[in-house]
Amino acid sequence: MKALKQTIKRDLKQEVTDRLVNAMEAGRMSPANLWACSASGGLPVNYATKNMFNGANLLLLWLEAAERGFARNEWMTYNQAQAIGAQVRRGAKGCRLVRFDKEERIDPETGEIEFFPDPVAFSVFNVEEIDGVVSVSRCEEYAPVDVAEHILKQTGARVVETGEHAFYRASTDECFLPERGRFDDLSSFYRAATHGLMHWTAHSSRLARDFSARFGDDGDAFEELVAEFGAAFCLARIGMQDGQLEHHASHLDSWIRVLKKDKNALFTAASRASDAYSYVMKRARMTDSPSIELAAAA
């Protein structure tokens, strides 16, 4: 008699959450060095489509690149490589990502068709393990500080340089930063500023982001996680590789606790951070392509 085979559907959300939580606990994705994974390559992009990855996939690719020492940030699927005449090397290891397709379900009571996001796994390979791809020059026309200053001015956010700490005050809709001369370097100043910008996007007149109902006492800490991710995305786009972001160890403990408790939380944080990053880039009138256009600053 043939043995019966049982198909077990993998819990992709839990797998992704576990991998990123383990990295946080091990210090490989701590707030102080999250963006460092991207220092040599910026935001991960699909080599074939030229589109940037986002959300949790962006975090997974940063982690994969850091763990395996990749210097380039371009990735694509096996079939995409084949389509352009390139070849994934024998023995190459892909990075498992997740996309969400719409799954139709019929409500047993109403008979109406409803749509739910269904996670589907797929793998991409770094171009360093693909033969037949062209090397890309990563020269930028503008210095990172110039790009950061452009973003601050174009968003229209009110940034006040005063006091001892960096924070966003929702009641007055202002980002407060210590005077830039008090930072060790300008990179650290702009890093604190981009973190504040991410909080600024949460205002009710913008993205109206509020986690108090869902996460209770951890709501503020979860907002800090979103701002941290969003700032990392923004800093990678700018190309800043130096400086440090301020953070509190208690926030890291809260993030890990929430992520362990709710396998959907990681995807929520990464998605909201991507939304915040995209909002800031749109206000700054910057393109989504790897090359930065600053014509508006002229």
Using one digit for the tens of pLDDT, what is the confidence trace for 55-70?
999 999 988 988 898 8
Instruction: Indicate whether 57 belongs to any domain.
Output: yes
Could you count the other beta carbons within 10 Å of the beta carbon of residue 4? 5
Separation between Cα atoms, residue 80 and residue 51, nearest integer Å: 13
Q: Would you state the structure tokens that stand for residue 245, as one six-digit string?
A: 């972001």
Q: For the segment 179-228, what is each residue's pLDDT rounded down to a tens digit? A: 999 998 888 899 899 999 999 999 999 999 999 999 999 999 999 999 98
As a whole number of angstroms, the longest Cα–Cα distance in the chain is 78
CA distances from 28 to 5, 15, 63, 247 (A): 38, 17, 8, 15
Q: Which of 120-129, 135-144, 231-240 has the highest mean pLDDT?
A: 120-129
Instruction: Indicate whether 3 belongs to any domain.
Output: no
Q: For the segment 224-270, what is each residue's pLDDT rounded down to a tens digit? A: 999 988 988 888 888 886 555 555 566 788 888 999 999 999 999 99
Separation between Cα atoms, residue 231 and residue 282, nearest integer Å: 15
Instruction: Indicate whether 1 belongs to any domain.
Output: no
Instruction: Indicate whether 2 belongs to any domain.
Output: no
Cβ neighbourhood burial of 46 (10 Å; 0-12, 13-18, 19+) = middle
| pLDDT at residue 24, as a whole number | 85
Separation between Cα atoms, residue 257 and residue 262, nearest integer Å: 9
| pLDDT at residue 177, as a whole number | 96
At position 253, the amino acid (one-letter code) is: D
The mean pLDDT value of the chain amounts to 83
Instruction: Indicate whether 69 belongs to any domain.
Output: yes
Q: Looking at residues 90-103, what average pLDDT do you find?
A: 90
At position 23, the amino acid (one-letter code) is: A
Number of compact structural domains in the chain: 1
Q: Return the higher-pLDDT residue of 79 and 136.
A: 79
Separation between Cα atoms, residue 145 and residue 187, nearest integer Å: 7
Residue 107 has pLDDT above 70, yes or no: no
Instruction: Indicate whether 97 belongs to any domain.
Output: yes
Enclosing domain of residue 20: 12-291
Q: What is the DSSP string of 89-103?
A: PTT--PEEEEEEEEE
Instruction: Indicate whether 297 belongs to any domain.
Output: no
Residue 30 has pLDDT above 90, yes or no: no
Q: Looking at residues 114-120, what average pLDDT do you find?
A: 72
Residue 7 has pLDDT above 70, yes or no: no
Instruction: Indicate whether 204 belongs to any domain.
Output: yes
